[in-house]
Each structure stands twice: as C-alpha cells, then as structure tokens.
Structure 1
Amino acid sequence: MSALPDRGAGRSAGEVADKLALLRAALAQTGAGAVRLRGTDWFAWATAGGDAAVLQGADCGVAEVLVTHDDAVVLTDAIEAERLRLEQVPPGFTFHIAPWAETELRETHVLGAARGGAVLSDRPRNGNGNGNAEQPLPASLRLRRMVLQPSEQDRYRALGAEASAAMTATLRAARPHWTELDLAAAGAQALWRRGIQPALVLAAGSRRLQAFRHPVPTRETLGARAMLVFCARRHGLVASLSRAVAFGALSVDERNAEADLLQVEATGLDAVRPGQSLAAVYHAFDAAYRHANRPEAIREHHQGGIAGYQAREIVASPSTATGIETGMAFAFNPSFAGMKVEDTFLLGAHGLENLTLDPDWPATTIQGRARPVWLEVADHE
C-alpha cells in the first residue's frame, strides 16, 4: 500500500494547539463569537502548513478555518473535503462539508457557531445576507503570526535550502540564447520538482535587467547577463531570493557596483535587531545608499521587510513602527539599476540565519556574512 502524501509532515499537534489558543485569545480580547480565516495564508498558518489552494493565483482557497471558543472547523465542500482531510489538515479540526451548489449552508453554519457574536476575519465582508458585517482581526494577532514557532522555522529552513538549490540548478543550466520565458520556465520546473509552488518567478536579460525592478519575463533573449527571482512557497511559507548570471567576465564597473550594493545590504541587515523598529531598518538602508552616492535608489524600489506567510508581511517604510522580534523572518532586496541582492533570513538568538544561500553558489564574506555574488560562466555562444 502506498503512503499517503505529507499530511502533517514536520508539523506538530503542539503547534496547532498554540495557534488555536492565539485565535481564542483574540475572541476573548474582542468579545467576538468566532474567527473566520479565508485566505490561503491564514489557512496555512492555522493548520500548521495545510494548503487550501487549487487555483494558485487566488487569494482565498477551497477551504476556510472557523474557530470558536470550543471548536475548530474546516469549512469546505464535498469536492475537496476528503482530499483535505487525508493530505492537508492535521488532527485538531472537525469538518463542515456542504454541497458545492449550496454555499448558503456555510453561511448559516458560521452564524450558528458565532451564537450571535461578531465574526472576526482576515478578509472581512460587509454582510452575508443577514446584515451581519464581519470585523478585521486584531493587530495583536497579526503580529503573533509573524513570530514563527520552532516547527515553522524548521519548515522554512527546508524550503529555503531547496528553493536555493533550484535557483542554482536553473542558472547553471541557463544559456545566453535562452529567452526570459525559457529561464522562468526552467526555474518554475525546478521548484515544482522539489514540491515548491512558484508563487513568483521573474526573469530578465541584459536589456530589461537595467530597465525594470520587476521584470515579468518576455520572449526577449537573455544575452550576456540575466537575473532570476523566486518567491517560493511551501506549507504556506514564502522564501524569496534573487540571483544573477554573467556569460563572460564582469566589467570593473559591475564589480564595483556589486561591492557597493553588498555594503548597502550589510548596513541594513546590521540594523535588524530585537527591539528595533522596521522603520529603523529602512533608515539604515537610506543612509547606506547615500554613503554609496546613490541617494535616489531607495525611492526606485522598496527594500523588503518581514517575511513569512506572505512574501512580505510588512514592507519597511520610513514610518513602519512594527517592532522586530526574535523568531521573525525577513527578506530585503536592495538594488541598483541592473542588479539586486535578496535572501530570506530568520532572526534567532544569535542573529540572522540565511535560509536561502546555497553552498554551491559563489559567495563573498561581507561583515561576517556569506553573500551571493554574480555567477560568472564562460560565454556558451
């Protein structure tokens, strides 16, 4: 008999219990009757890595989580229930299963479960036909989501290692005559082969790398330079990383720009400390760009921020007051025109741990950290 898919792999009953306790604390704090989690991100968080997505680009999946003071229920339809039960949802949840054509049964169940109390939601809706508007989740719960538990951190480490291996394999195979679409397709395939969803794959060749910070791939040929960007998702967590390949040696100007960019990044990373605000990290990047004589660069692209169940849970800005805590993950992406550096880090007791640096990728050491550099290969043309 073949084994079932990885239901609960690397996931613990303790994690689910802790998540439910946080949700019930939000109920107690607000006096609400139920918490309704619609988004695929919150579904993954609450179920310790369960996946409710079918249409990958959809914000909400084929199931929801409903938590009351005394129950935790997966709301879904008869099409999805058995698959979710066998493959995605760990113990600790009951199921409410409705026929796919009778969606009103779900709404009736939610109202009954809330027992007249308010319904909190990650994607609140104005009404459900009965005039009952949902309320947003409290900010304190959103903050708790960003502090990852040890089991979540372990899943993130495994994801980061495999995503970075997929990146290395793709760019080592790339050729200058490939199109950007060829490169993106190879990257997506490398991720899928490792059981990772390509939430985002960007690819740019020589010309578009200089022109755009978000190069959605086209049929244009790569040429002498190429960059590949992943937002790689598994068990709901997203690991972000960017790498570049040069077909032929880098110029002196390119090497100098790369050195400057890595110093900018190092200044920002040094500011990631418990008790600091995310705004302080932004201002560190701003000062570093000015020191590099590129003061406009910070306005040409965002610098990243806290990562986790979104590629960016919160983007750093001059006024982002969110405090940094041990257990948070971060993905920053400082850039100049034509180059970017990006990895996903976890803040632990001993500082930042890089989750996405493949040991087979060329690197240099900047302020005690191994940082990726251009992969330089012989021109295959």
Structure 2
Amino acid sequence: MSKIKHAKINDLMGKKGLDAVLISTQGNFSWFSDGGRGHVAMATESSVASFFITRDEVFLITDNIEAQRLKEEELPNLDCVIKEHFWHDRDQRDKIINELCKGKNVGSDTDIKGMTNIAQDIAELRYVLTDVEVSHYKELGKDCGEAIGKVCKSMKPGLSEFEIAGIMAKELYSREITPVVLLIAVDDRVERYRHPLPTNKRVEKYGMIVICGRKYGLIASVTRLFHFGKLSDELRRKHNAVVEVDTAFIAETLPGAVINDIFAIGQKMYADKGFPEEWNYHHQGGPAGYAPRDFVATPGNMNKVLKPQAFAWNPSIKGTKSEDTIITTDGKPEIITTTPDFPMISVKYKDEVWERPDILEI
C-alpha cells in the first residue's frame, strides 16, 4: 500500500488526537490500498475487510473466506498483519477489533460505538489525487470513453434498454471495468426521466447511455447520446445549450475556485441560453474519485477546487445531457473520458475553444 496514504492517515490522527483509524467502507479500502477491491456484493458500501491503522502498523481484519484471495489477488504487496476469523464467528471479529483498540482513541469511517466518526475527514484526504491515481484515472477514462462510443455506434432500432445495458456492461467488463451506475433511456424516456434505470422499452429513434465505471477503485462518469436520422430543431437547440453550460462548468473548474461561484456561473449560462429553471430538475455533478461524486455541488458550497482533483459535471436540459470526467491541472482541466471519432461541437468560452460531444446521428 502507499506510504503516502499511511502518512495522510497519520497526519489526520495527529490533528484529531487519535491513536488509530479503522477503515471499513469500499471506497476507503480501495483508496488506502491503491486500488484493491474490497467488495463482493456491489450493492453495499461496506467492505469485506477492514484496515486497522496505527502510526507504525497496519492490520487487515477479514474472514477466512476472503483472506487468501485478498492477500494473493487484491493486495499482493500488502505490508500488514492479517487478523483472520471464521466467517460465522462475528464475536471473534469483534474481539479482534476490541483487542486492537484497547487503550487507544480510535476513529472510524462508519458509526461504531466508542469510536469517533471521521468519515468526512477521510473523504477529504481522497480529494487530491496522487501521481499513481492520476495515471490510473486517465487509463480508466480513456477506456470508458472508447467503450461508450463503440456501443453508441453499434446501436440498431428495436434494441431494448435492458439489451443496450447488457451490451454496455459487456464492453466495460471486457476492459476490466465494473459498471457501478448504468442508466439507459430511449425515446420519450430520455425526456421523462433524468435517472432512467433500463426497462424493456425498445428504441425507435433516440437513446441515452450513462455510465459510471470503476477500476482501481476510481470511478469515471460519461454520458453519450445517439439518434437515428436527423435531429429535430428543438433537440438541436437544447443540446447546443447544454454543452455550453457544461463547457462553463468545466472551464471554471480551476484550482482555488469556489464551488458556489462555479455553480453560479453554470446557473447564469442556463439562463443565458434560455433555460433558467433546468438546473432545478437534476443535480449538476461535482468532485469525483472513489465515489461517483464525493459530494454534489450546490449553491452555497464554499469548498475550493484542489489540484489534481477529479470532477464530473453533468448538466441536463429536458431530453438531453452532457457529461465527462475531468482532472484539474495547473492550467485548464483535462477531459479524460474523450470518445474517439465521435461528433463534437466547438464551444467558445472566454476566448478559448472547447470540444464537447454532440449527439451521434446514425
């Protein structure tokens, strides 16, 4: 595991007056282990193992089902003591934790009696990416952008949303990416629902694919849209507007900028393009990393943009949307989920031209 992460935990312990930290959630497990997968079931935030971290030692607490696999496949360079218990003996697990905690002031990323909840403090440690994480994220983003583009180009009328979801999932898994969010809408459902879980509805003219793909514990978000035949004038007007809103969000995501100020600029762009109320009907995104969003940006949020930090903005106007994942730099943000050979719209913002994905006409 990363000495950088251990040093960050040690620094946090010093600030909070702690002697040890217990990490038990999937995102934090992956963060501390530089990408180890701490899950079996995806539909839970809990990890199948916990890290107990002191200033000088790290202990891995897990059951006998997971211990060998974690050691050999997820954490091959693990430098820690494994505390293993039988899967059916919850009391033994509690005893291990109690013995490790004896005489210590302990912080935890979950609510545990007798421990200080430091979930938000650990989340904030994740915001600034390490060099390794930036490299991993760029690899993930490239693969997500390519995968969703390939699927959009393969679309045929008559496919159901579930079938499209299956094609998308296959494309992601073939790249060793786990789809933790996979939303599909076709035709009128693109307008009706902003979080469209797939159904058996079959596509006739228009479709939207939304993915949050996870690899190395990091999560990249992308939305792409496809249309059979020429777009209507109204859909063209809406999509041209939403990519301008997205461009404003992206371009203003600079180190030191305040989330509240970026949000206000996005709101103004919605209004300038003739859609002043649309921001009310779906969240606009925010910082990303070991969760699809570390938090959702809102008016009044005074957090500052850090560097390097991942963001995924996702403005939408009824019937269309624009979304990519970016990483902040010393200069302009880098879009890491670009899709090769996909139609683009050139958007001029503050004397600079940005390329944003158009709707693919098939």
TM-score by length of 2: 0.95
Distance 2:41 2:67 in 1: 16
In the alignment, what sits opposite 1:362?
Answer: 343
Correspondence for 1:76 among 62, 75, 82? 62
Does residue 25 of structure 1 match 2:6?
no
In the alignment, what sits opposite 2:30?
Answer: 44
In the alignment, what sits opposite 2:105?
Answer: 118
Change (3 A) 1:138 1:188: closer
In the alignment, what sits opposite 2:127?
Answer: 146
Provide the secondary structure at the position in 1 that maps to 2:143: helix
Correspondence for 1:35 among 21, 33, 41? 21
In the alignment, what sits opposite 1:5?
Answer: none
**Cα deviation digits, residues 182-211 of structure 1 (max 9, x gap):** 111111111111111010100000010010
Q: Which portions of structure 1, spanning 4 or more consecutive aligned residues, are displaced by more than 6 angstroms?
A: none
Alignment of 1:181-200 (within 5 A): 181-200=162-181
Partner AA of 2:162 in structure 1: L
Distance 2:104 2:258 in 1: 35
Partner AA of 1:103 in structure 2: R
Equivalenced residue count is 357
Kept in 2: contact 1:281–1:316 (CA 8 A)? no
In the alignment, what sits opposite 1:250?
Answer: 231
**Cα deviation digits, residues 199-230 of structure 1 (max 9, x gap):** 01000000100101001111111110000000
Does residue 179 of structure 1 match 2:160?
yes
Correspondence for 1:63 among 43, 49, 69? 49
- TM-superposed deviation, 1:114: 2.6
- TM-superposed deviation, 1:279: 1.4
Percent identity among equivalent residues? 29
Distance 1:86 1:153 in 2: 25
Provide the secondary structure at the position in 2 that maps to 1:204: strand
In the alignment, what sits opposite 2:90?
Answer: 103
Kept in 1: contact 2:59–2:81 (CA 8 A)? yes
Distance 1:187 1:329 in 2: 23
Kept in 2: contact 1:34–1:113 (CA 8 A)? no
Distance 2:169 2:246 in 1: 27
Partner AA of 1:113 in structure 2: L
Distance 1:140 1:64 in 2: 17
Distance 1:375 1:355 in 2: 19
- TM-superposed deviation, 1:139: 4.6
Distance 2:108 2:354 in 1: 40
**Cα deviation digits, residues 40-75 of structure 1 (max 9, x gap):** 000000000000111111211211111012211111
Provide the secondary structure at the position in 2 that maps to 1:348: coil
- TM-superposed deviation, 1:138: 6.8
- TM-superposed deviation, 1:364: 2.4
Distance 2:330 2:80 in 1: 33
In the alignment, what sits opposite 2:244?
Answer: 263
In the alignment, what sits opposite 1:7?
Answer: none
- TM-superposed deviation, 1:142: 2.6
Distance 1:138 1:217 in 2: 32
Kept in 2: contact 1:206–1:225 (CA 8 A)? yes
Distance 1:138 1:277 in 2: 22
**The 10-residue stretch of structure 1 (266-275 or 144-153) with the greater mean CA deviation from structure 2:** 266-275
Partner AA of 1:345 in structure 2: I
Alignment of 1:158-307 (within 5 A): 158-307=139-288
CA RMSD of aligned residues (A): 1.4
**The 10-residue stretch of structure 1 (318-327 or 361-370) with the greater mean CA deviation from structure 2:** 361-370
Does residue 311 of structure 1 match 2:292?
yes
Provide the secondary structure at the position in 1 that maps to 2:242: helix
Partner AA of 1:372 in structure 2: P
In the alignment, what sits opposite 1:375?
Answer: 360
Unaligned runs of at least 5 residues, structure 2: none
Partner AA of 2:42 in structure 1: Q
Alignment of 1:341-352 (within 5 A): 341-352=322-333
Provide the secondary structure at the position in 2 that maps to 1:101: coil
**Cα deviation digits, residues 286-340 of structure 1 (max 9, x gap):** 1111111211101000000000000000111011111111111000000100000
Unaligned runs of at least 5 residues, structure 1: 1-12, 128-132
Partner AA of 2:66 in structure 1: E
Distance 1:365 1:85 in 2: 48
Kept in 1: contact 2:60–2:82 (CA 8 A)? yes
Kept in 1: contact 2:60–2:80 (CA 8 A)? yes
In the alignment, what sits opposite 1:336?
Answer: 317
Distance 1:36 1:222 in 2: 48
TM-score by length of 1: 0.91
Provide the secondary structure at the position in 2 that maps to 1:65: strand
Provide the secondary structure at the position in 2 that maps to 1:315: coil
Partner AA of 1:106 in structure 2: R
Partner AA of 1:37 in structure 2: I
